[in-house]
Structure 1
Amino acid sequence: MAPWTLSVVAGVAACVCAAILYLLLKTGLAWRLATDIPNERSLHVRPTPRVGGWGIVPVAVVAMTVVAPSLWFAALATAFLAAVSQVDDRRGLPARVRFSAHVLAVAALLALFPAAAPWWALCALAFLMVWLVNLYNFMDGADGLAGGMALFGFAGYAAGALLSDHPMPDLALASLALAGAALGFLFYNFHPARIFLGDAGSISLGYLAGALGYWGWRGGAWPVWFPALVFAPFIGDASVTLAKRLTRGEKFWQAHREHYYQRMVRSGVGHAGTARTWYAFMVVGITLALVVLNRSPAVQWGTVAGWTVVLAVSGSIVDLRWRRFQSTPSQQSEV
């Protein structure tokens, strides 16, 4: 595939997404569609439009339909989830309604396009994909973070789809379009953010991270570990935080400020510093995934295990910094 084709797809996606969001801000429509009002759990202090999905989702849906028609159902399901999530952004929906929509979109994809795997393996994948949809929403809480993860994550998918022993050009083009749309969103979301992603954007990106990851595994472009390693920082933070809250008997779906990225922001690293640190981890993890993509299973899984240890140690460092921050007398009232 010609490099200029890849550049054009990513560039057009970035420009179109940025243009849509610019118009929403310029006309004032952004505030009428959905606005995030700060509360005691927020990391920001002023009302901010939650309309990032209005730029990303149309670009994603059109791009997959045009450059990767084999992904037509993923495009359709993304539009469905964005619509449900927009209602949630505007008026709020019960958790069971939102969760049912997530399960339906994932189950339908796996049922219509099953992989050559045992039923129990597909059930496990369905569970993990539903979790990815939700964790992406949980991790959308700091300027530039979720958008940056989409930029690097889908760019990693594109590289993997092209460098694989079984390349999938259509998947690469769709992934590059998503990375480009994320870049267009980041123009307005990097600190200080003028626009937030919102549920319509975060739920859609979480679904696409799982759906395109599944599509690449189903088509033989990469092993099952590849999508998990690409999005490992997000998956690790959300999963560990969830486990901690469940062991304490807390309601994991309620808003809180216990994620590692939230603790980094609150303990002095700041929004921009936190985003850059996570970008670095994403780049290293994706590079490792690409380097071992076509190597032996032993090397691949050894790399996955090693990177898991690195992330665990990094999380421990954040926890240590947080405990020191909490012990500072001047911070007692803040935490």
Structure 2
Amino acid sequence: MFNPGGVWLALLALPVSALTVWLVSRGRTARIALDHPNQRSLHTTPIPRTGGLGVVAGVAAGWAAADGTLPVALWGGAALLAVLSFADDRYGLPTSVRFLAHIVAAVWLVAALGTGWNPWLWPLAVAAIVWMTNLYNFMDGSDGLAGGMALFGFGFFAIAAATHGQSELALATLTVAAAALGFLAFNLPPARVFMGDTGSISLGFLAAGLGMLGAVHDAWPAWFPVLVFLPFIADATATLLRRGWRGEKVWHAHKEHYYQRLIRMGWSHRQTALAEYAVMGGSGGMALVTLSAPTSIAILIAVLWGAVLITLMWLVDSRWRDFQVNQAITQA
């Protein structure tokens, strides 16, 4: 279980994150990296995208204070991606450079964690980390969404690790959840700051890395982190496959994710965030239940929850088709 002193050190991430976000979202600092509205945006005024600096600062402070023994490849890879992503937020970097960095960080982490793994698992693990790193960035496009999902996801990681006696992992994941909460205070609708790639890329890498670390240390089975973050994974993956099927350039920005469709159909950012929180809470709750259930029951629960998510996505697709038809009639 948690060491009370360790909990307070982990929760140091919250005030550090909140203070940093407050500082970097004001005055000249806020103009270092502005997210200007374009045809693919859901906002209408320039918003600072410096909030990820707060998330990174909060995680760094909490982990440093807790003085744990997390793999260098985990925090080093996250730091590498945070620095590069801030440069991208500030100046813009070629897609090839960013993607190469994601691969390097993933290979580094897999090499550090993969002692004794079957060779065929290495490329699968690298691909999973790279995909999670990118999909978290794809899903950072609505007020309160990515920050809230981090609070839920890493919070469920912390609960699972604590109940299985993995105190260091529990504190590490609690730190990330606390840092996300500090950022979320400024990102809830209407958002005053966005996390930018600095935050979203780092959180995606940490979600995959900490999820994999927990599996390696037997804190949870490999499918647990997938089920926890399934709403994010399902939305991003389904959208990517759909765009790829149509022959579109999947790496280009767009407004076709399910959460983006809801807002374009008239939902507010607040309504969308609350709906996503409910789905994320359900997914994380199901994941926790399956940890203590027999394997056959766990599989059944996972399948049923997957069916629920597929149904929700089908409903949004159906409403979206009707919305497009109505728009075409109105414009005719």
TM-score, normalised on structure 2?
0.95
What is the CA-CA distance between 1:79 and the residue it aligns to?
A: 0.9
What is the CA-CA distance between 1:62 and the residue it aligns to?
A: 3.3
What is the CA-CA distance between 1:117 and the residue it aligns to?
A: 2.8
The answer on whether the counterparts of 2:25 and 2:51 sit within 8 Å (CA) in structure 1 is no
1:76 paired residue number: 76
2:306 paired residue number: 308
Q: How many residues align?
A: 330
1:199 paired residue number: 197
What is the CA-CA distance between 1:297 and the residue it aligns to?
A: 2.1
CA deviation map 1:107-139 (0-9, x unaligned): 001112215431112321211111000000000
| Residue 58 (1) aligns with residue 57 (2) | yes
The one-letter code matched in structure 2 to 1:163 is T
Q: Tell me, which stretches of 5 or more residues in structure 1 are unaligned?
A: none
What is the CA-CA distance between 1:21 and the residue it aligns to?
A: 1.1
2:104 paired residue number: 104
Aligned partners of 1:327 and 1:136: how far apart in 2? 31
The answer on whether the counterparts of 1:65 and 1:71 sit within 8 Å (CA) in structure 2 is no
| Residue 43 (1) aligns with residue 48 (2) | no
2:162 paired residue number: 162
1:243 paired residue number: 241
| Residue 186 (1) aligns with residue 187 (2) | no
1:30 paired residue number: 30
The answer on whether the counterparts of 2:142 and 2:260 sit within 8 Å (CA) in structure 1 is yes
Deviates more, 1:109-118 or 1:11-20: 109-118
The one-letter code matched in structure 1 to 2:136 is Y
What is the CA-CA distance between 1:12 and the residue it aligns to?
A: 2.2
Q: CA RMSD in A?
A: 1.7
1:256 paired residue number: 254
What is the CA-CA distance between 1:332 and the residue it aligns to?
A: 5.4
Q: Tell me, which stretches of 5 or more residues in structure 2 are unaligned?
A: none
Aligned partners of 2:6 and 2:265: how far apart in 1? 40
Aligned partners of 1:112 and 1:11: how far apart in 2? 27
2:287 paired residue number: 289
The one-letter code matched in structure 1 to 2:188 is F
The answer on whether the counterparts of 1:136 and 1:205 sit within 8 Å (CA) in structure 2 is yes
What is the CA-CA distance between 1:54 and the residue it aligns to?
A: 0.6
1:137 paired residue number: 137
Aligned partners of 2:63 and 2:104: how far apart in 1? 20
Aligned partners of 1:5 and 1:195: how far apart in 2? 32
The one-letter code matched in structure 2 to 1:62 is A
The answer on whether the counterparts of 2:229 and 2:280 sit within 8 Å (CA) in structure 1 is yes
Aligned partners of 2:330 and 2:115: how far apart in 1? 52
Aligned partners of 2:122 and 2:295: how far apart in 1? 21
- For the residue of structure 2 that corresponds to 1:70, the secondary structure is coil
Aligned partners of 1:71 and 1:271: how far apart in 2? 37
Flag the 1:153–1:331 CA change in 2: closer, same or farther, 3 A.
Answer: farther
1:233 paired residue number: 231
Aligned partners of 2:227 and 2:327: how far apart in 1? 39
What is the CA-CA distance between 1:251 and the residue it aligns to?
A: 0.5
What is the CA-CA distance between 1:84 and the residue it aligns to?
A: 0.7
The one-letter code matched in structure 1 to 2:21 is L
Aligned partners of 1:98 and 1:156: how far apart in 2? 29
The answer on whether the counterparts of 1:146 and 1:202 sit within 8 Å (CA) in structure 2 is yes
What is the CA-CA distance between 1:6 and the residue it aligns to?
A: 6.2
| Residue 128 (1) aligns with residue 132 (2) | no
1:279 paired residue number: 277
- For the residue of structure 2 that corresponds to 1:328, the secondary structure is helix
Aligned partners of 2:139 and 2:329: how far apart in 1? 24
Aligned partners of 1:62 and 1:53: how far apart in 2? 14
The one-letter code matched in structure 2 to 1:90 is R
